[in-house]
Amino acid sequence: MMKVDTEKCVGCGLCVKDCFPKDIEMVDNKAKINNVTCFKCGHCIAVCPKAAITTDEYNMEDVKEYNKEDFSIQPDSLLNFIKFRRTIRQFENKPVEKEKLSKIIEAGRFTQTGSNMQDVSYIVVEKGIQELKALTLKSLKKIGETMLANLTPQTMAYKRYAELWLKMYEEYLENPNFNDKLFFNAPALVIVTANSIVDGALASSNMELMTNALGLGTFFSGFFVRAAQDNKEILHFLGLKEDKQVVTCMVIGYPEVKYMRTVPRKDADIAWK
């Protein structure tokens, strides 16, 4: 429930104006939250100049007072940071500290979600990577064999992936450590699950930025996401909740490669209306 401390409230009305579901009204020159249409987005907490609004739904210790020095970033620096990010597939043989993995997840936790559902969950895999790798490659092999046995002109474009998955599986069996073309011997995975693909994808994007800010590298394993779809063994291993789906798999570690510059991209496809 959202609460207003009437002793602190000065009746400025800022919370009323900023409340999208219109759940706040002014009564006797004090804000009153009805907690009927409220979806606990916290905008009223953030906008109140007197810190008069609290909630017992969440931990209020998460709330931080704004100051420009800690909360600002130069636009050009942010854009350059985004431009410089690279997909990493070369990792040092070095574990990732739990504190850093937790901070990456924090970046996901504070990402916006539709209707403030906060439906994103995270599965961290470290000790079980080898077992999950075997399950994933086995699944990809089965998918590849099915694709090759049922090729049509419409699916011919995926033939190369099917052949690659079979080759990855064969090479893995020959030398599991050396021929890891799935997770590239990274020390940690963070699997992002959600009810909404959009919510999970938005969280993952912010998590990648935090990964880079921490001096780590990552890539999103689309192969794993494909292998996990409707695969009971993988979903059981993950302990995936029934209402969730795997959105991304972040393969994380310390980079064993150093890039010296950004790369070019196509011009933006923009329609100005």
Give the CB-side neighbour count of residue 34, counting CA atoms within 13 A: 12
Q: What is the mean pLDDT of residues 172-190?
A: 94
Torsion of CA 65, 205, 98, 72, to 10 degrees: -30
Among the listed residues 138, 131, 250, 237, the one whose alpha carbon sits nearest the alpha carbon of residue 188: 250
Q: What is the mean pLDDT of residues 70-90?
A: 97
Tell whether 268 and 180 lie within a shared domain: yes
Task: Find the range with the poorest average confidence among 36-40, 91-95, 125-129, 149-153.
Answer: 149-153
Tell whether 126 and 259 lie within a shared domain: yes
| Cα 193 to Cα 195: distance, rounded to the nearest angstrom | 7
Which CATH number belongs to the domain containing residue 42 in this structure? 3.30.70.20
Which CATH number belongs to the domain containing residue 186 in this structure? 3.40.109.10
Q: Does the pLDDT value for residue 241 go beyond 90?
A: no
70 falls within a domain:
no
Q: What is the mean pLDDT of residues 149-176?
A: 94
| Cα 234 to Cα 108: distance, rounded to the nearest angstrom | 23
C-beta of residue 25 within 8 angstroms of C-beta of residue 9: no
**Structure tokens, 191:** 């699997």
Q: Residue 246: what pLDDT?
A: 98
Among the listed residues 256, 254, 255, 236, the one whose alpha carbon sits nearest the alpha carbon of residue 246: 236
Q: Residue 177: what pLDDT?
A: 83
Task: Find the range with the poorest average confidence among 71-80, 139-148, 149-158, 166-175.
Answer: 149-158
- What domain range is 120 assigned to? 77-273
Question: Partners of 160 in the beta sheet?
Answer: none
Tell whether 118 and 247 lie within a shared domain: yes
Please give the tally of structural domains in the chain. 2
| Cα 116 to Cα 6: distance, rounded to the nearest angstrom | 26
Per-residue model confidence as pLDDT tens digits over 3-52: 999 999 999 999 999 999 999 999 999 999 999 999 999 999 999 999 99
**Structure tokens, 30:** 């004090």
Tell whether 143 and 269 lie within a shared domain: yes
Per-residue model confidence as pLDDT tens digits over 195-208: 999 999 999 999 99
Tell whether 83 and 209 lie within a shared domain: yes
C-beta of residue 171 within 8 angstroms of C-beta of residue 182: no
Q: Residue 242: what pLDDT?
A: 86
Q: HEC string of 135-202?
A: HHHHHHHHHHHHHHHCCCCCCHHHHHHHHHHHHHHHHHHHCCCCCCCCCCCCCEEEEEEECCHHHHHH
Per-residue model confidence as pLDDT tens digits over 85-99: 999 999 999 999 999
**Structure tokens, 269:** 């496809």
Q: Where does residue 260 rank: exposed (0-12), middle (13-18), buried (19+ CB within 10 A)? A: exposed
Share of the chain above pLDDT 70, in %: 100
Q: Residue 267: what pLDDT?
A: 98
| Cα 3 to Cα 111: distance, rounded to the nearest angstrom | 24
Per-residue model confidence as pLDDT tens digits over 104-118: 999 999 999 999 999
pLDDT, averaged across the chain:
97
Q: What is the mean pLDDT of residues 128-151?
A: 97
- Count of helices and strands (H, E) across the chain: 10, 8
| Cα 84 to Cα 73: distance, rounded to the nearest angstrom | 16
**Structure tokens, 24:** 């706040």
